[in-house]
Every structure is written in C-alpha cells, then in structure tokens.
Structure 1
Amino acid sequence: MALKQLQLLVQVQKDKEEKLLANFTQAQQFLQTCNERYQGLADYRTDYIRQTQQRGAEGVQSRQFNQYLNFITKLDQALEQQNLQIQQAQRVVDMRRTAWLTMQKKRKAIELLIDKELAASQQRQNKLEQKLLDEIATQQFFRRLQQTGV
C-alpha cells in the first residue's frame, strides 16, 4: 500500500478514534450522573427514614405509618431502577472503552507500518546514495589511473 494511502488511512482512523473517544466520554458522564442520582435517592431515603422514626417516636396513626412505609417502598423501587440504569450505563461505558481502545490500537499499528516503510525507504535511499558515491569514486580512480598512464 502506498505511503500516502496509509497516511490517509491513519487520518480516517484518527477521526473515528476521536468520535469513539467522545462517545466513551459521554457514556462516562452519563454513568456519573446515574451514580449521583442514585446517591441522591439513597440520601433522601435515609433522611426520610430518620424523619419517619422521629415522628414514630412522637406517635403516629397506623394509616399515616402505612403511608410512610409505602413511600419508603417506592423509594426502594426507585433505587432499584436507578441501580439497573447504573449497571446498563456501566456496560455501555465498557463497550465504548473497548471500541475506542481497539480503534486506537489499529491506528497505532498503521502508524508503525508507516514508520517501518519510511525507515525502509530511507535505508533504500541511503544505499542508493552510497552506490552512487562508490561509482563516482571508482570513476575518479580510473580517470586518475588513465591520467597517470598506468
């Protein structure tokens, strides 16, 4: 594959890698938001239970106590749902990280191939230059021999 084609391929890979990195970053941010929501719900639940216990110590009717329990159950369900969303968000983060790292690996492999091709090209160029210098030196040697009449 021609060097220019490989360089174009590297640029395409870099563009894809940047998009995958942006997707990965977005997924991480969403996961962080989900974790913050979960923590907010958990803190609210803890505060609500503490308040309920204080009211219970003061005395509450059974109907009101059942309402408190129902609301705590709803908070537990919300926490469960939020936990499921966190798990899903974590899976997305993992998938996007893998996709980004895979693309990065491909790009680096192509860049390595380009580096090897450039090194080989430079080596060929050096050999050609050395061959030309040797030929010039040989021609000069034979000219001197002819001029001295040997």
Structure 2
Amino acid sequence: MANERLTLLIKVQKEREETLQAQFVRAQQAFVQAEQKYQGLADYRTEYIQQSLQQGSAGLGGRQYNQYVSFISKLDQALTQQGRVVQQNRNAAEQRRQTWLKMQTKRKALEILVEQARQKEFQLAEKQQQKLADEYAAQRFYQRTKQTEQF
C-alpha cells in the first residue's frame, strides 16, 4: 500500500520534472537567442565603425559626423539593453536548471525509498518462505522418526 503511494508520487514527480526540464530548455534557448542577438549587434557596431572610419578618411562633413556618432551611441544603448536581456535570460535559465535538478534529486530519493521498501518486502517474503520450508522439513523429519519408532 505504501509502495503504491510512493510509486504514484514518483510518477507525479516525473511529470513535474519533465515540465521543469521543458521550462529549462525553453529558458536556455531564449538565453542563446538573446546572446546571438547581442553578438549580432556587437558585430554590426564594429562593422559600422569600420565603415565610418573608411569614409571619414575621405573627409566627412560636420552633420554627417554627428549622424555617425549619434547612430553609434544608439547602437551602444541597444547593446547595453541587450546585455541586460542576456543576463536576465542567463539567470532565468540557471534558476530553472536548479529547480529541475532539485526535483530530479527528490524523485531519485523517492525511487531509492521504494527500492529499499521492495527489498525489505522481498527479504521478509524470503524469510517466511524459509521458515515454512524449515517447518515442513521438521514435520517430515518428525513424522519419519515417529514412523520408524513404530516399526
């Protein structure tokens, strides 16, 4: 009876664990996507600065220079903002991973309890069977000795 309850509890824990694992996978994917977006912005910023330098060597007007500086500033802001998103997604993924691992640990502990209970039941059944076999052998021995005494 207790084993059945524990087995049911393990089943529920496995379902929760699978849900938590799926949440972790989604959070990890969101982190990777955010990181890729950040890297794309950083690469674009680098390319834009290189283009600006090439065009600047040919000579730039004041207005065009201000536009370049303004756009680079906007790219820096976007990188800072995307960096925060990356960090938030990294933290969320790590938190979900920890939650998933805790659930996994709980499930494994329950499985160990169930296995120990099964082993105890098996040992008790084995002892009872041995006891019955010993009693049967003792009765047979007693009956044989009684029969030989009669003759």
TM range (shorter): over 0.9
> Structure 2 unaligned runs (5+)?
none
Moved over 4 A (4+): none
Q: In structure 1, how many angstroms separate the alpha carbons of the residues matched to 2:83 and 2:92?
A: 14
- Corresponding letter in the other structure for 1:48: Y
Equivalent positions of 1:1-150 (< 5 A) are 2-149=2-149
- Corresponding letter in the other structure for 2:105: K
- 1:149 is paired with a residue whose SS is helix
- 2:29 is paired with a residue whose SS is helix
Q: In structure 2, how many angstroms separate the alpha carbons of the residues matched to 1:41 and 1:145?
A: 97
> Structure 1 unaligned runs (5+)?
none
- Corresponding letter in the other structure for 2:85: Q
CA-CA distance at 1:94 after TM superposition: 1.0
CA-CA distance at 1:133 after TM superposition: 0.3
CA-CA distance at 1:32 after TM superposition: 0.2
Q: In structure 2, how many angstroms separate the alpha carbons of the residues matched to 1:108 and 1:15?
A: 13
- 1:74 is paired with a residue whose SS is helix
Q: In structure 1, how many angstroms separate the alpha carbons of the residues matched to 2:96 and 2:146?
A: 74
CA-CA distance at 1:132 after TM superposition: 0.2
Q: In structure 2, how many angstroms separate the alpha carbons of the residues matched to 1:126 and 1:108?
A: 27
Identity %: 49
Give the TM-score, by structure 1 length.
0.98
Q: In structure 2, how many angstroms separate the alpha carbons of the residues matched to 1:40 and 1:86?
A: 13
RMSD: 0.8
Give the TM-score, by structure 2 length.
0.98
CA-CA distance at 1:14 after TM superposition: 0.1
